[in-house]
A = this chain, B = another copy of it.
């Protein structure tokens, strides 16, 4: 069995490792466009903050690890064309063109940074951040140009992490967000909470702000928005990503959500023997029971593993994403899973959301801090639809989000959260975990709602 994988990031590597794990006789070859196979894209902000001393530390596994696992990794090798009938991939490697036959092919080409309609994105000092090369260029620019001010366009996850990272380096950060609130995957109440935290850390935050043009100026870049203009030594454009599908399009593979490759839950494309996974594909949403575009590293790993299993004869289904995400912003951790209120409405539910404050552990034990928990659920059926949490770095926010994610996976009601036998010791929780305190508050509100409506 000859397996070719185009892409050496999360989905590609996971697929390769799983295929060889289940079928040690498989020949697995990975084509990696740059020289950084299996690097942690999610780690780039922490390299740029200075928390990670050397970029080489960002490798999940070294090339030697991958080799030892039995994967044949071709670095600086760009797939240029697929010939489905011949079952061959054409590629350009460091030593010239290659023709690589395959029995099974995985397209794991990932995504690239979305470039918004702003004039002057080619102005020196304007950067995107997606690949290791982007990060190293940014790092060099910050060091060589003695960057003192930065404007970040986009208040999403990367925008948050980079605001944190650049502030840690002593750079004054302005954050420009098009929407009414940052982190639009959260409802407004949590978005506002994050905004307060950003301002406390000295970030100059402007929301509802459309950037129109960037021009070079004596003082770095001049950024013109619909409301004001500002100077910054550095501009980082962090407005999301779009699937990298040129190769797939070229062979006529049908595209779905936001132009991502259509796949089944087995991660099969429309062409037999060709699979796709990761940021280049549409993602099955477990709650919505439909495909969405929701590119995430954790999802790419899962889809890759499923594809790897199925390429060697498995029958595994990708069980779906819940859009679970978490981000650390200075000392605040914010996470979410499932649907936010508007998404729940649009999906036909009767959502009711409630924000609850509960201490992360018993108040009598030192160091207790409040967690904000927002539960969204259907007020008719009580079905849990989503949860959003914010609290201190040390408040186990991310794994509490995961309790909700596990409950959503199984389609539990809010009330059923109270039946979970969660762990308790006073330094780490309460007899009712904050997750359950919030569930009980939601149930109480649901009862009032039902009384009003009966």
- Which of A's residues lie within 8 Å of B, judged by CB? 10, 21, 40, 42-43, 46, 51-52, 57-58, 60, 286, 296-302, 305, 319-328, 333, 335, 337, 362-366, 393-394, 396, 398-403, 405-407, 409-410, 416, 418-429, 431-433, 444
Contact = CB atoms under 8 A, between A and B. Distances in A.
A136 to B, nearest CB: 15
A305 B58 CA distance: 48
A328 B425 contact: yes
Among A46, A333, A444: residue with most chain B CB under 10 A: A46
A40 B322 contact: no
A421 B426 CA distance: 28
B426 A409 contact: no
B406 A407 contact: yes
B433 A402 contact: yes
22 contacts: A40-B362, A40-B426, A42-B425, A43-B426, A46-B365, A51-B366, A57-B363, A298-B424, A298-B431, A302-B421, A326-B425, A327-B425, A328-B425, A333-B428, A337-B423, A398-B423, A399-B423, A399-B429, A401-B423, A403-B406, A405-B420, A405-B422
Contacts of A333: 425, 428
A421 B298 contact: yes
Contact of A301 (B51, B366, B423, B432): B432
A188 B127 CA distance: 54
A52 B298 CA distance: 40
Contact of A419 (B326, B400, B409): B409
Contacts of A432: 298, 301
Contacts of A427: 46, 328, 393
Nearest to A322: B421
A299 B321 CA distance: 32
